[in-house]
Structure 1
């Protein structure tokens, strides 16, 4: 799979990097959830049937971040590297990463088609039903259809529904903020995950019999609701059950500047420091709370570990 970074305006040398006629799935695709997967699969199937190259175009950073409307979009469900990895699994032959800056934000829908899609030899474009493009989101799927004639065929993919709701990145973010990772998993098609590096923490967990891996996220992920979770941790090619806390450790601190993420791996021994790990969120167990004594905390952690072990054993059987 080729990964090509594009800067507007597209110059001939950029376009020539993949000068083959292609089918192109276009979108930001944060999360690469089941709705996004549906759009991309349509594009890849169309490409194979027509003998065209199968390509995906995404934008970085998020348009709302560039336009000062970032809000929750300062964090991603799938940071760029992870998103590209998922594109690979979906069969993309080429991935275009368009630098979204203020100049690109001002491009009209017509110029997007004439100065971006046609130079890249796009013969078929596949978009979701709610796709927007061009300055101020003026372009809609029907706009793309009209502007693409007669040489660019446009396929508009219907919304992907689940339990009566349209699968969307917003719905996933809401589920995570409410501590409902099971819902996020249903919408994503796999557990929501966060990658990070294990760093040195306060070392308190080891002194009370529950050593924890303090995790520094590798990118600006959307972090689920604070509390205790049953999770699976991928490390050194293994998938290990664990109990994880996201919070400010109120038993020991009046106020931490920001929540920390620490996991106690069940039935595991070994040095994790400086290792890259992936945390998959399976189930929310309880909210974070302040304990009156260390003994109360130890008893609760033991209970959490037992509950997590039971939840994950049942999960892994399914």
Structure 2
């Protein structure tokens, strides 16, 4: 297969007779929010096993996040990589197929035995690759050893050991914490790429242009995890080109007299085109300062000038 194929699944897997695969599968299993360096090791191993054994490489992922469905945290509604972003990253890793299992209460109640028999064997899995802390089945009652036992003798199971950064396991939770703290350099090391949010450019209040810093107001289609409020050096990907810039994520306290929802607005350097309605991807490169309230517009303008100088310096370093 030359292009990534995305196949939605709902448990029980009825109607799979219409699914015709040329070969059995080597499958990486996980939610993979962030597709961070640890996840990449799992997926790359599945791709390697597929090539060595002449299988199709696949990812079995879940949507929505299991913890959101099981009531273990509303924060999981917001994700590091929404599904369409995640599948794009899978394609870059060389995966042939992505199975997106709808995670609902019915699937959550499936026993480990039924998961192996009714999902993995139904999908013709021959090789399965998981992380060291993989749990599956009702209330997470199955672990990697159970998977090996239940898969024997027809499904080989490969368990990938964790990666560590600063003595801490690379994980989606660690990345979320780094974003909450504004540590974008750490997030980039954990992800293996800059943290990125994608959306469209919408009309704002137009105030940025009146003070000499026209801004692109960003609206996001998907519920991304946002970094802490503040000012950032960014790289904006727009129309196939990359533009350095500075972004403010906050409440605009200098102008707003009452609490409102946080907004993101970006000023792109040496750029002056009408881009309303355009798709944009924003890579967060470095935290510059917390958001603050200024006593006058003149004070704000001076600070934006300083922020822009710093952002130019920082983004030049990333080229």
Q: TM-score range by the shorter chain?
A: over 0.9
Aligned to 2:101, the other structure's residue is in SS state strand
- The offset of 1:12, in angstroms, is 4.8
Q: Structure 1-normalised TM-score?
A: 0.97
Deviations 1:142-184 (A, max 9, x none): 1111110111110011112233221100000000000001000
Inter-partner Cα distance in structure 1 for 2:16 and 2:305 = 61
Among candidates 54, 58, 62, match of residue 59 of structure 1: 62
The answer to whether residue 124 in structure 2 is matched with residue 124 in structure 1 is no
The answer to whether residue 275 in structure 2 is matched with residue 272 in structure 1 is yes
Instruction: Tell me if structure 2 keeps the 8 A contact 1:24–1:55.
Output: yes
- The offset of 1:2, in angstroms, is 1.2
Q: Kindly tell me: are residues 79 and 10 of structure 1, through their superposed partners in 2, closer, same or farther at Cα, counting changes over 3 Å?
A: same
| Aligned twin of 1:92 | 95
Aligned to 1:214, the other structure's residue is in SS state strand
Among candidates 31, 34, 48, match of residue 34 of structure 2: 31
Instruction: Tell me if structure 2 keeps the 8 A contact 1:24–1:122.
Output: yes
Aligned to 2:67, the other structure's residue is in SS state helix
| Aligned twin of 2:173 | 170
- The offset of 1:254, in angstroms, is 2.4
Listed as ranges, the matches of 1:215-294 within 5 Å are 215-294=218-297
Inter-partner Cα distance in structure 1 for 2:63 and 2:43 = 18
Instruction: Tell me if structure 2 keeps the 8 A contact 1:248–1:255.
Output: no
Inter-partner Cα distance in structure 2 for 1:45 and 1:95 = 16
- The offset of 1:68, in angstroms, is 1.6
Listed as ranges, the matches of 1:62-77 within 5 Å are 62-77=65-80
Inter-partner Cα distance in structure 2 for 1:74 and 1:12 = 29
The answer to whether residue 303 in structure 2 is matched with residue 300 in structure 1 is yes
Deviations 1:284-315 (A, max 9, x none): 00000000001001111111111101111122
The answer to whether residue 46 in structure 2 is matched with residue 43 in structure 1 is yes
- Farther-moved stretch of structure 1 (156-165 vs 59-68): 156-165
- The offset of 1:26, in angstroms, is 0.2
Inter-partner Cα distance in structure 2 for 1:226 and 1:245 = 8
- The offset of 1:14, in angstroms, is 5.4
Aligned to 2:200, the other structure's residue is in SS state strand
Count of matched residue positions in the alignment of Structure 1 and Structure 2: 316
Inter-partner Cα distance in structure 1 for 2:86 and 2:17 = 22
- The offset of 1:218, in angstroms, is 1.9
Inter-partner Cα distance in structure 1 for 2:98 and 2:193 = 22
Among candidates 12, 16, 27, match of residue 13 of structure 1: 16
- The offset of 1:102, in angstroms, is 0.8
Inter-partner Cα distance in structure 2 for 1:283 and 1:173 = 15
- The offset of 1:272, in angstroms, is 1.4
Q: Kindly tell me: are residues 14 and 136 of structure 1, through their superposed partners in 2, closer, same or farther at Cα, counting changes over 3 Å?
A: farther
Instruction: Tell me if structure 2 keeps the 8 A contact 1:229–1:243.
Output: yes
Q: Kindly tell me: are residues 19 and 135 of structure 1, through their superposed partners in 2, closer, same or farther at Cα, counting changes over 3 Å?
A: farther
| Aligned twin of 1:104 | 107
Q: Which runs of 5+ in 2 are unaligned?
A: none
Q: Which runs of 5+ in 1 are unaligned?
A: none
Q: Kindly tell me: are residues 19 and 63 of structure 1, through their superposed partners in 2, closer, same or farther at Cα, counting changes over 3 Å?
A: farther
Q: Kindly tell me: are residues 233 and 204 of structure 1, through their superposed partners in 2, closer, same or farther at Cα, counting changes over 3 Å?
A: same
Superposition RMSD in Å: 1.1
